[in-house]
Amino acid sequence: MRRWLVTGGVGFIGHHLVRALLSRGDGVRVLDDFSDAPYPTRLKRRNAEDLRAHHGPSELDIVEGCVTDRALASRLVEGTDGVLHLAGLAGVRPSFAEPARYARVNVEGTANLLEAVQRKGVPTFVLASSSSVYGNDTPLPAAEQAAAIVPESPYAASKRSAELVVAAMAKKTPGVRCPALRFFTVYGPRQRPEMAITLFLRAILGGAPITVFGDGSMKRDFTHVDDIVRGVLASIDHAPAGYRPYNLGSGAPILLSKLVEAMGHAAGREPVVEHAPVPLGDVDATFADIARARLELGWAPQVALEDGLRSVVTWLRAEGA
C-alpha cells in the first residue's frame, strides 16, 4: 500500500481524488482546514462523512488543520510516499479583497509542505496549479513553456508564485518528482456552488434566470473532475524527477453562449439569460495545449462536455434541485 498526504482532501477535487486513491488500494491522510470559503464548510463536513462511511482509519485519516502550520505539515508528511497538494484559496474575484491571505495560504503553505517533503526524504510532491497563471497575454492554445508572467488577479499571482517556489526548491533535491498541474476550469458533481456550471444548472433546473458576464463571447476550457483525477494519478505514476508543469484541460474551449445552450439541453429547459459586465480579473479565454500531458503522462481527457453536464444535472437532481 502506498500512502499519500492529500491537502484539501475534502474539497471538490480533493474528495474525488481521495476516493480514487482509496479505490485503487492506496492509503490516504487528508489535511484540510474546513474553512468556509470559497467551498462551504457544511459541504466539506459532508464530504468527510461520506469518505469515512466507506473507509476505516487504517485506510483513511482526516486531520483538521492548515497548510500554513509548519509543524503540523512536517508531522503529516512523515511516512508518506508523496504529497498531493490541492489545498489553497481559490477564486479570482475574492482574491482582490484578501490578497495577503491568498499569498500566505497559497505560497507560504506550498513552501511549508515542500520543505517538509525535502527534509523527510519524500519522493513526490504534486502541486495543483491553475490555468489562471497564463493571464490574457499568453498565445492560445496556452503551452507550458509560455512565460506566464502577467497575472490578471492576486489569485493567479499566488498560483504562479507557488509554482516558482516549487521550481526553485526542486533544485535542492532534483530527484524529487514535482509536477505542477495547471487545471483548466474544473466542473462536475460536488463543484463549488458559486462556480458557473453548477450555479447556472441549478438556476435552469429551478426556472430562475442566469447571469452571463459580457456578451457570451468569452471562451473557457472546461474539464470534468473525473479527467482531472485521472491526470493527478497519471502524474504520480509517470511524472519525471524535477519540476515540470502540465496542462490538464479538455483542449476544446467553448463560447459561454454555446455553453448556456448546452446546459439547456442537458437540463431539458430553456435558459433565461441576463447579462452583466465582466468582473475584474476574468480572462478573455482559456485554451489548453495538452500535448505534453499526452506524451509524458499518457493522459488525455475522456469526458465529453455533454456527458459531463449530464453528470452535474443528475447530481443536482439527486440533491433536490
Full set of structural domains in the chain with CATH: 3-184+223-249+289-302 (3.40.50.720)
Cα angle: 225, vertex 226, 229; to 5 degrees? 85
Beta-carbon contacts of 213 under 8 Å, excluding residues fewer than 6 positions away, are: 256, 275, 276, 277, 278, 279, 282
Rounded Cα distance, 185 and 297, in Å: 20
Phi-psi region of 152 (alpha: psi -120 to 50; beta: other; left: phi over 0): alpha
pLDDT at 320: 84
Q: Which residue has the cell 481521495?
A: 18
Cα angle: 6, vertex 10, 13; to 5 degrees? 75
Q: Which of 2, 3, 1, 11 is CA-nearest to residue 229? A: 11
Q: Which ranges constitute the DSSP H helices of the chain?
A: 12-23, 41-54, 70-77, 92-95, 99-103, 109-120, 154-169, 196-205, 225-238, 256-267, 291-292, 305-318
**DSSP assignment letter at 84:** E
Rounded Cα distance, 243 and 132, in Å: 19
Q: Which three cell numbers stand for residue 92?
A: 479570482
Residue 195: CB atoms within 10 Å = 17
Count of H-run helices and E-run strands, the chain:
12, 13
Q: Which of 178, 153, 56 is CA-nearest to residue 95? A: 153
What pTM was estimated for this model as a whole? 0.96
List the catalytic residue out of 39, 102, 134, 155: 155
Residue 189: CB atoms within 10 Å = 20
pLDDT at 147: 85
Amino acid letter, residue 80: T
pLDDT tens over the chain, length 321 residues: 899 999 999 999 999 999 999 999 999 999 999 999 889 999 999 999 999 999 999 999 999 999 999 999 999 999 999 999 999 999 999 999 999 999 999 999 999 999 999 999 999 999 999 999 999 999 999 999 998 888 999 999 999 999 999 999 999 999 999 999 999 999 999 999 999 999 999 999 999 999 999 999 999 999 999 999 999 999 999 999 999 999 999 999 999 999 999 999 999 999 999 999 999 999 999 999 999 999 999 999 999 999 999 999 999 999 986
**134 part of the active site:** no
Contact 28, 14 (CB under 8 A): no
What angle, rounded to 10 degrees, do the helices at 70-77 and 109-120 form?
A: 40
Q: Which three cell numbers stand for residue 280?
A: 475584474
